[in-house]
Chains A and B, each alone.
Chain A
């Protein structure tokens, strides 16, 4: 049985629906990332699980127990706040001990657990410091230790890396994964950073305007997006809007401005005449200096962005479209601004979207 089960949860704030009929289940031991643009309702959903917001309808069930009506202090859940929310009048050890003291644990056990948590986040030498004497990264570790000290069934992390600089963020990401594996607690992370979500999580949920659009493993979300929104929000994408039509040997997409329809992957199961979009990731695009046999789009290179591990190429087509292609390594070396190219891709690499 899933550890966290949300059934049809909705929340309105005056005129705005923040969370709209969201149903979600998170498996025990998962590292679940809730990803979405700011204002999509992901933080409201997180606050519902923590108990800071009461859903207008729907239920929140944690480990088989309905907690919908329970106050935050009675839930087997702890949260790491985006601002960390460390108590400024207490030192690091007292911050970590705060939750344990509410459980009327005896002093020796509390001290032992605090030691254990400090070791877990490698902050043993800072037990007597006040939060304002710590760097951002250190505060983040203390906040994590404090939230983990009570050994919650579910740890909620609200934008855990947003306040850190880029270099520290990458290291902390690995650190979070290490700690999650060590303690075995289910993590639910809210983030607007897709790279963060895809690299840390075992399962990702995409939210948009209060609705949960898609859940799945990171690779599944990226390779098989279920909607135009998910395809566009997670990673870069080339989208072709058109209508399904019969092509040569297969179903194809008739797009205004293209002489021949774009061949589609087999097995879409959709009837001809359906309005649909084809999503193609930049790294699936193959560029060629000479015209190719079969389907290809003529374009000229408008810009080349070198990223270190590869280059992102922007192509301008006569139809006025901008296509994005990603070439690994130094493959873009033979291209310059204005170089005419033909772009194509294997049909099975495209994803047909109707939503």
Chain B
């Protein structure tokens, strides 16, 4: 680092700092600003935060939007619905992803490359198109129902689409790779001699898993869970396309506030609460990961 010099070091820290300020902090502050305004008809569709009032500059902020969110239990139910769906998605992804990641980490050479490639392959197609494909599969006269009926397993089409099932399926399908990849990283970095040592010391496979493999891959589990949980909470496309009238998720509420009601201040307030609600688990997990890393 000493060879870099003072200016070099400033540049090194400065570039990402400026980037984050410009493209993350500033937009967030704008959202916070909008959340404190009142809705109005015009462009932009909200009142300015600072108004010139007879020469003096006057702050024009209101917490009414937050009061509205707190007052109407629709928002709370939407938050909890999102959280529940996302938590369930995370659990499913973990249960499905762990054995997959383990199998990939244990495979060798070309086979491992192929399996990793297959995990990443879905990203080569647009996310939206993949979700639409699920509609074609799950429809009453879609691929799955027709196959089942042709096989004589069912007499009438199963209600597979526009319900809780299809939303959950879509979420797990879409976010599974984000769970598998960090788990794979954790598992492939696991020193195999530790597993052998545990077996040598008399531990059966289940005890090896619970006593050695699982605790040592906790960082991967935490990272994968965050990568699934956070975006799944705010997910909009999947509940919109695969969900039914009873699907209540915060991403959809946000969309409706912005584009159907054109109530930007309330939408912004919803977003601010969401960010605050997400920041807490993220920071907690981060601290946990740092502690693990230090150990």
Could you list which residues of chain A lie within 8 angstroms of chain B, going by C-beta atoms?
50-52, 71-73, 77-79, 81, 83, 85-89, 98-99, 102-103, 130, 132, 146-147, 150
Contact = CB atoms under 8 A, between A and B. Distances in A.
Nearest to A97: B201
Contacts of A51: 199-200
Contacts, number: 63
Contacts of B76: none
A86 to B, nearest CB: 8
A29 B25 CA distance: 71
Contacts of A50: 196, 200
A102 B203 contact: yes
Contacts of B202: 73, 99, 102-103, 150
Interface stretch (B204-212, B265-273, B278-286): B204-212
Nearest to A71: B199
A71 B204 CA distance: 9
B197 A85 contact: yes
B137 interface: no
A62 to B, nearest CB: 14
Chain B, interface SS category:
helix
A72 B199 contact: yes
Given A72-B196, A87-B194, A130 B201 contact: no
A224 B197 CA distance: 38
A81 B201 contact: no
A89 B203 contact: no
A102 B205 CA distance: 12
**Chain B interface size range:** 10 to 19
Chain A, interface SS category:
loop
Contacts of A85: 191, 193-194, 196-197
A26 B122 CA distance: 57
A81 B197 contact: yes
B200 A102 contact: no
B216 interface: yes
Contact of A52 (B196, B201, B203, B204): B196
Contacts of B295: 88-89, 130, 132
B193 A98 contact: no
| Residue from B191, B196, B200, B212 whose CB has the most chain A CB atoms within 10 Å | B200
Contacts of B196: 50, 52, 72, 79, 81, 85
B44 interface: no
A109 to B, nearest CB: 15
A173 B246 CA distance: 73
A78 B201 contact: yes
A87 B199 contact: no
A102 B201 contact: yes
Contacts of A71: 199
Contacts of A99: 201-202
A73 B200 contact: yes
B55 interface: no
B207 to A, nearest CB: 7
B201 A146 contact: yes
B131 interface: no
